[in-house]
Amino acid sequence: MGTTTKGVPIMPALVPQLEYLRAYCPVPLRIDNIRKGHTNALYADRFTACIPCCLDHVRWDVVYNYQNPELPPDVVFGAEDQDFQPLLFVGDDNPAAQAAAHGAWTILRDWTAKDYSRLLRLLLELRSLYFRHQRKRVESIEDPRVRFEIGTISAMEGLEMRLITGGDRADEVQFAIPLDIDLSQVARRVGTSSSKLWSGISLQVSFTLQRGQTFTGEKAPQLRLHAPPAMREVFDVEDVKLPTWADRMCLMEYVPNVQDNLQAQVREAINAVGLRKTFVEALGPVFGRPLELETNLFRRVSVMVTSGLFCFLIHLNLPTQFPKQQPTLTFQSSQHFDARGRPITSRPYTEYPWSPRWEAGHMAQRVFEFVLDECDKFKKYCNDAVQQR
């Protein structure tokens, strides 16, 4: 932690502040590009903070002075946010914004490098003020449709919104809406606390604006689901097909449909864990005791197969959509190695006889029959690979 990825020493006073931030930050804030201010500087004393906003990130440069490490950092916002002046929110009509602005001012005024929490607290206060800034920008748009959507969902807890302008694409209003999905069973399955799942599953909604910031009402908004990486082993939102956005539909009507649809799919994903376990247990009578088995979610299992004097492993990767999607099989020889000493493996097999309606025992038997049909081909492939080294 004392040096950058390029081996440049980090300013000593900054190191514990970054360690504290990474350990205790309650949101997925990333630290990027820790660097020196100029080539002759002794230490890296600045970095880019990737601040989560509307399921995306905005990038702020945090600049210290290694020659005066006791001074608070400067925070440089992006070119698109030059009108963001957080400390002016002291006079805002929103009490939460006033408190955040006063908190940021107090942190800077009483700055001490010996309090490692101050960097994190400063960035969180500024993030809160940035949300308020973006909300005021969105609310200033003179468009009946955007105003209607804001009016119907503004009370949603955890709602984020922002106005994206500039660049090559059209301006757009973006909302991030936390969905009320019970993830307690998912948390237990992935072996983590619900807090580690951050805010759970959220829906990102983007409305494109015409010139003059008018909503293009004839088009449906762009919709994207977002879930924390810890969920993917149980439930992958990339596999979810969202409900169709009907004509004249609004977010207040659409969001409950998404929540009901997702909750049903989460329950189905949890049930799939039990189905995978049953299938893995059915492999035993056919292949014998597994050599390796992931026993939490039953996503991966490896078995040994012998054909005459030829021994090889079968690695089975069971998808979250099992049994609708069949396991991926990969063969690995225990007797053939490439020029680097690595075991020779086959391509992944995903096309073989399969039906999600079969019983687990029949599924295992059909996998075994496929393996027997392919083992001579795999043995020849291994022999040819060794000869061609």
How many residues are recorded in the chain? 389
3 plus 126 within the same structural domain: yes
Question: Of 121, 124, 138, 129, nearest to 173 (Cα)?
Answer: 138
The three-state secondary structure class of 352 is coil
174 plus 87 within the same structural domain: no
Between the two ends of the chain, the Cα-to-Cα distance in Å is 42
Q: How many CA atoms lie within 13 A of 20 on its CB side?
A: 16
125 plus 1 within the same structural domain: yes
Helix, strand, coil percent values for the chain (each to nearest 5) = 40, 25, 40
233 plus 295 within the same structural domain: no
pTM for this entry: 0.76
Give me the torsion for CA of 131, 133, 134, 137, rounded to 10°. Answer: 160
Look at residue 203 in the predicted model and tell me its pLDDT.
93
**% of the chain with per-residue pLDDT over 90:** 54
Look at residue 88 in the predicted model and tell me its pLDDT.
83
Q: How do residues 150-191 score in pLDDT, each as one tens digit? A: 888 888 888 999 998 876 777 889 999 999 887 777 767 666
Tokens matching residue 249: 């539909």
| 333 exposure class (CB count in 10 Å sphere: 0-12, 13-18, 19+) | buried
Look at residue 286 in the predicted model and tell me its pLDDT.
93
C-alpha–C-alpha distance, residues 290 and 308, integer Å? 20
Look at residue 216 in the predicted model and tell me its pLDDT.
47
Structural domain of 306: 288-387
C-alpha–C-alpha distance, residues 293 and 323, integer Å? 18
Can you list the positions of beta strands (E) in the chain? Answer: 30-35, 46-53, 56-63, 74-76, 160-164, 172-178, 202-210, 214-215, 222-226, 292-293, 300-307, 310-317, 328-337, 343-345
1 plus 113 within the same structural domain: yes
Does the structure show a pLDDT above 70 at 36?
yes
Number of domains in the chain: 3
Look at residue 233 in the predicted model and tell me its pLDDT.
74
In a domain, 228, yes or no: yes
C-alpha–C-alpha distance, residues 246 and 254, integer Å? 9
Look at residue 4 in the predicted model and tell me its pLDDT.
79
Q: How do residues 365-389 score in pLDDT, each as one tens digit? A: 999 999 999 999 999 999 998 888 7
160 plus 238 within the same structural domain: yes
Segment among 5-9, 60-64, 218-222 with least mean pLDDT = 218-222
In a domain, 282, yes or no: no
CATH code for position 199: 3.10.110
Look at residue 191 in the predicted model and tell me its pLDDT.
60
In a domain, 136, yes or no: no
Cα 141 from chain centroid (whole Å): 31
71 plus 167 within the same structural domain: no
Average pLDDT in the 118-142 region? Answer: 92
The strand pair at 202-210 and 56-63 is best described as unpaired
311 plus 379 within the same structural domain: yes
Q: How do residues 273-296 score in pLDDT, each as one tens digit? A: 899 999 999 999 999 999 999 988
Does the structure show a pLDDT above 90 at 338?
no
